[in-house]
Amino acid sequence: MKKIFMSRGASKIVNVCVGVKPNETVLIVTEYSKMSIAEAIAAEVYRIGGEPIITVIKPREIDSQEPPLCISEAMKSCDAFISVVGKSITHTHAVKDAIKNGARGVVLTQFSEEMLMKGGIEADFRAIAPLCKEMAKRIANSKEVELTTDNGSSLRFSSLNRRGNALYCMVEKGEFSTVPTIEANVSPVEGTASGVIVADGSIPYLGIGVLEEPVTFKVEEGMITSIKGERQADILKKDLEERKDPNVYNIAEMGVGLNPCCKFVGFMLEDEGVYGSVHIGIGTSITLGGNVKAACHYDLIMKDATIVADGELLMEKGKVQFNI
C-alpha cells in the first residue's frame, strides 16, 4: 500500500526535478536501507521510457566520503543521476566531476519513505524557482554579507567574485540540486567570515537533529574557533575533533531556506529548506564555488534570520523583503 502513496513523489522527482526523457540513462545510487525509494523512482523512469540503473553501495562511513571510483565514473557517463543515500555524497569530487561532464543530478540524502509522500516534496518547485534564483543573485558577489538573528547570531563575510547557487529541485544539463530543500546559497571567500553563529533550528547530522538548546560557534578569519552548548554541541565538537582535519572548521556556505512546505523534522533536506531559515555550512565548499575539500560538510541551521548584502535588506526575521 505504501508504494502507491510513494508513486506521486517518485513521479515528481523523475518528471519535474530531473526531467527524464525517453531513452535517457538514469543512474540511481543507493544503499540497501533506501532500496524501496530507489525502486519507486526506477519504476517511474522505466514507465516513461528511460533506462534506470540501480547501483547499491556500502553506506559511507562519514558524510562527504567519496563513492567507489567505478560509481564516480558511471555518474560522469550517465544522462542523469539520482543519489538516494543516508550518508551524503553531495560534497564530493564525484558529484562535481559528473556535473562538469554534463550530467544532471539530484540528491535525496537521508530521504525517508514518508518524505516521498508529504512535506517539502509537495511544494510548487516551478513557482518558487524565480524567488530562489533572485535570492542567489543578490547574495552573490557582495563585498559584505551580514547575517543576524534575535537569538544572538551575528556573522559577516565577503562573497566577492563568488557565484550564487539556486537549488530549487529542478535541473538542466550540468546542474545538480537537492530535493526537497529549496535554497539559495553562496560560499564565503575563505578567511573572511567572522562573528558568532547561534544554531537554534537543527544540526541534521550525527543523530543530532532538531536542537534541544542553542549551540554557539565563534568564528574568526573564516574558521570556527569554539563551540559551546550542551549535549548536542558535545556530539558535534567530538566528531569534528576526531576528523583530525582543520578544514572541517571552514565556513563553507550560507544557505537560505525558501520551501514553505518544509518543517523541522531532523532530516537534512527537510530542515535546510524551511522557509526563513538560514544554514551555515562548514567544511567542504568545492561543490558550492569555494576551494576547500574537508573530511565532512555539516550544516548549522538558524530560525527567522535577517540578511543584509552590501546594505540591501534581503530577509528580515525570516521573511523575504524584495519582490520578483
Q: Which helix (H) or strand (E) holds 8?
A: helix 2-12
Query: Could you give the CA distance from residue 121 to residue 262 in angstroms, rounded to a whole number?
Result: 8
User: How many CA within 13 A on the CB side of residue 23?
Assistant: 0
**pLDDT digits (tens), the chain, 324 positions:** 788 899 999 999 999 999 999 999 999 999 999 999 999 999 999 999 999 999 999 999 888 889 999 999 999 999 999 999 998 898 899 999 999 999 999 999 988 999 999 999 999 999 999 999 999 999 999 999 999 999 999 999 999 999 999 999 999 999 989 899 999 999 999 999 999 999 999 999 999 999 999 999 999 999 999 999 999 999 999 999 999 999 999 999 999 999 999 999 999 889 999 999 999 999 999 999 999 999 999 999 999 999 999 999 999 999 999 988
Distance, CA of 126 to chain centre = 18
Residues 59, 29 share a domain: yes
Q: Which domain holds residue 39?
A: 2-118
Query: Could you give the CA distance from residue 23 to residue 40 in angstroms, rounded to a whole number?
Result: 18
Cβ atoms of 264 and 210 closer than 8 Å:
yes
DSSP letter assigned to residue 183 = E
Residues 197, 298 share a domain: yes
Boundary of a domain, candidates 77, 93, 118? 118
Query: Could you give the CA distance from residue 218 to residue 221 in angstroms, rounded to a whole number?
Result: 10
Query: Which residues does residue 215 pair with via DSSP β-bridges, in sequence order?
Result: 199
Cβ atoms of 220 and 194 closer than 8 Å:
yes
The grid coordinates of residue 142 equal 557582495
Listed in sequence order, the residues at least 6 apart from 242 whose beta carbon sits closer than 8 Å to its beta carbon are: none
Residues 160, 214 share a domain: yes
Q: Is the pTM of this model over 0.85?
A: yes
Residues 236, 180 share a domain: yes
| Number of structural domains the chain divides into | 2
Boundary of a domain, candidates 118, 146, 176? 118
Cβ atoms of 272 and 178 closer than 8 Å:
yes
Residues 210, 77 share a domain: no
